[in-house]
Structure 1
Amino acid sequence: MNNHYEYIYDHFRANPLVESENMMKMRMFDQFSNLSKYLRERVSERNAVFGVDAKIQKQNKARVAYAEQLCKMYEFIGFFKASMRLGNTRVLLEEMSEEEREVFEVDATKIDWNKYFVDIHIPGLRKHVVNRTRLSV
């Protein structure tokens, strides 16, 4: 999962959803509730430091809620505690003919995860979830 995090970070650093001077690398969390608490605390701190008015505070609260919705969609991946056993898949691959292996590719080690996230997943997320909008801070 750490490689996936790096791919996603690199992509959004180069192509941010939020117009910003800098993009800090966020730390990893082991539970969604910890992530949510972190986001809310950082926004509260920022509101206090910049002395923003009630309207801006409300907008910031809405942004946190939106970010939480996006993160909640990936909770099953980001906070998944199970491990996968590949023994049965390896046996299946060994029993398949070359032709079957080409037609029914099931070897996940051949997936270029960086390419998948950068060229397929994130553009789909932008198009269908965030509708290509760029948010301003």
Structure 2
Amino acid sequence: MIIFTELEVDSQWNELVNSFPSLFTFLNTHLLSASTFQCSSELGFRRAVDLEVAISRKGLPPFQILRVWVSLVQLIDESEKGIPLSRSLLSRGVYPSSYYRTFGRVFGQTWSDLRRMGLCRARANVILVWNAYRFRADVK
């Protein structure tokens, strides 16, 4: 088990976000409703596959994996600021039930359990996933 200090998590999280800032801005804005096609056209790529190639070259996980993780981190961050998941999503015009189901299916935990893990641990988990892809890209 790898243990990160909060400072290490913050530093690596900033490195991750700065590796493709426009993508992370898009994902934080659209959360799970983001599609590869929508993101690729908004970021100026001609095709969705071009976005996936750019993501891969930067050593990032595929769009669909990144989308779920970034959504989780964003919503935990909002939750720690006192904004309940349901209010956050309803204000975006999204029904919360799909998020509860998606998080349960992908992470095998309830939203309450995921929220309790906290922002630092959620980010650390994303960093572990990212490192697996980043080091794989370095080997190529």
TM-score (norm 1): 0.37
Q: Taking CA–CA contacts closer than 8 Å with sequence separation of 6 or more, which of the two structures ends up with the larger relative contact order?
A: 1
Larger radius of gyration: 1
TM-score (norm 2): 0.36
